[in-house]
Structure 1
């Protein structure tokens, strides 16, 4: 039986740790592989019980959904082999049995009876073990490093069905309802409203539903005896395997621990100054941390060898890095301020309680979405952002939209000018791929995206949310209009999934009929560009052929871009190209 990788929430992830060995007997939902992506670390459970016969991946491999991880010999397969062997034994020549002593024949009959009873009780034992089994479940990939528990929708003792919403999680991107991973009774809730949670964190214990009808077919005494024998056998096997693994790991663990101890000792004697990326990479050789943590360490310039891991086998988590940085900042804050230093953040507010100076004040809490948006928005302080403005004459395009919107409305499709903007921008990105890219961590390369995943900013009561339309370059105006409408409804109803909020390569922020002539949208890191669209208005434009002014419908465009990747001349050309496509969408057909 092949155990395959489930839906990981990302295209691929790296095998960080293999938690089983060939020959291990595992139960369903036992963790077998630790996978790490740039989003999170995820422990993959086994979808069945059995004996591990083959491990198909190795540490460091990149795996994706549907890839075979391990192969199992299930209990049903082992039982079939046993029955096949019994059948072969029973087909021996009858003459041999006639020559056996009478007492041997009686012993054989008794043995056959015991085997039959054991085989009969086996399904009942499995059903009995399944009934009332409490399983701890971890959060799925939330699409962000952490999010806040906004609401707990169930209580201890409640009976839940599979996929029933049990938690409401809010991040800087959206509010997401977490479904129940299985049907059963809620035994324990491991989080509380207001807690900050991360991907893979245990959040609920559920006693799974089962059926005890099979156990009614045999007596309780036989089932108890069978379970007792199986338990003793499993305990003996586990002790033997544990001893063997201990013997195997002892020689190899000591050098690693000694090397790690030496590394940590040397690191503590080193300077606390921020390291270059090359220096950080040199210190990562003997450190137990996943690729996402290593990437974060490079971004923060942290000496990872000075960080103490809190996970199993001293594995370093993102939380350990944050705690390390926080400790350093607190230490620096306590030290006397240097006159030559430059503050990396705004100073504290003055005392606002003096009403003679400041007048009356009122304190209001930010919404959860605003609070969790602040770290992402702070990235913009590090981007050299510039905005290019332009106007597009969409008079003819609006006429075309007016001719088509009646038929679209009959099909229940809202056909707005935004569909044309999305299509034109996606086509422009295929012709100017540098705007559909990301700057590498070391600022030496540009990563070009071959597909256009368009983020569409949607205003909700809680704030701005940006769902993503995937592969826009392959879709027509009608399909784009359908998906814009569906995602907008999901955003306002808080029904967006994490996949619908991930993977954007470029963003469009349309103010529609909100008013205004232009604005400066903020680039959403790690993207390098965002297009702002303001309200169209009738303006007089000079017609050279008629030598007169005539009214034209003009659409303001505002392109903000990361000046490290995009220069001003290219931005002007790109914005004018989008304006030209919107003026005559037939150009896209060429």
Structure 2
């Protein structure tokens, strides 16, 4: 059996929530989906009982009258189904009737227009509520103030029942003379609710043009002014705006707005009208983080604007903390049950590890890619073997890392985009003229990255000296703040720890990091000799920020570094 959308009172409405799942057994009149239009939201009931076999709509879909919503495997006979359908036609569900209230109001207005003369300009007329589809409903929000100029069909109050909320439009264009209801009142069909002084449509437009600049700019002020500084009804506000915890929303939106599906999933958890819910989708705001200022903590449009303003201010004033990435993760389960989790032990992170977490969290927001390559360092290793004896006599440890630093620093001068930073607004690349090379050093407390300043201007011997000095200071915990600042690129070498390749994390705000794994002897084809021969091959792993670096450029850069390492004489050219 197919359950179709009833008469919605509008051409189409959006699926805001699906309240059932395939396999659910439902009764007749059980609510199955929540539909929203610009003017109303309504829960659609099932016209029959049975087991759901298929759901034909998804959140965000636009549906219209007669569209199949779900399919049921009904246990009822065809006769019973027919009777149920007839009963539905004769006795409209209250929530369906509320969904039609906008159309009913429009029809009533049209009937009045044909049965009596139009309201004359300058005449104050008392207007009654249209048919709400229920005996009574609550005034949830008054959207205008005394003295406001409104156009016909402009939403002026929000009425809410147990099942639906409807925005009641202005019956005529004019100036609000008096508001006869207040937020929280229970109102009924035909009850007088507003007095409007009718004016011509042209006069409405003209008045809006001739109003003072402050009035004409009211829309932008609404977006920028917190709800606590303005009134949206002719009465004092029920409650002041509460300070909303913006940290979670700011965290979720660091890399962009919430998706519409995420916002839709949260809409049913809050107390807000259809217009506010639609605005939340448009702004991408996590509406569960917004505090309402109206009666019963209802969220108004002004509350959304105030929340967005606070969120933006918070993001600009405070840098991203270590809680940013973790805030989007669920909490750990309770691990106290030994039967499930076994024995556990808690160990404190070291101070260095705690300090590193916020910096590592930045990497979560980078579109990172890794390029892999290998370098034949057979000849370079021979050269190092010839030099290291004399260096050792001078107290200098000459490792392959010194050659990697020199080759990479030179490569950065030839490919300066890898030695840059992306601007905060993502519109510019800040090019670094000096190569300050960060060197990842493993210590007992964790990883630390001291910096060799102006590495492109130094020879291999000087680089080897500074690598040794920085490594000793790192392990002795004697590195100064100056030793750790200003890096424009980073190298992470795993030395003889093993492994064939890895994916190093870009150290924001840098755009690249080069990883070097353990060099191993591998057979390589010698075209001149037409035979394989053993060569010492060094695996390289270049991770880069794809917003700044293209894949082709990364491949060229990595191969260039590999060629420099295979023959250090190229650096002298």
**TM tier, smaller:** 0.3 to 0.5
Structure number with larger C-alpha Rg: 2
TM-score normalised by the chain length of structure 2: 0.46
- Calculate the TM-score normalised by the size of structure 1: 0.45
More helix by share: 1
Structure number with greater CO (CA < 8 Å, separation at least 6) is: 1
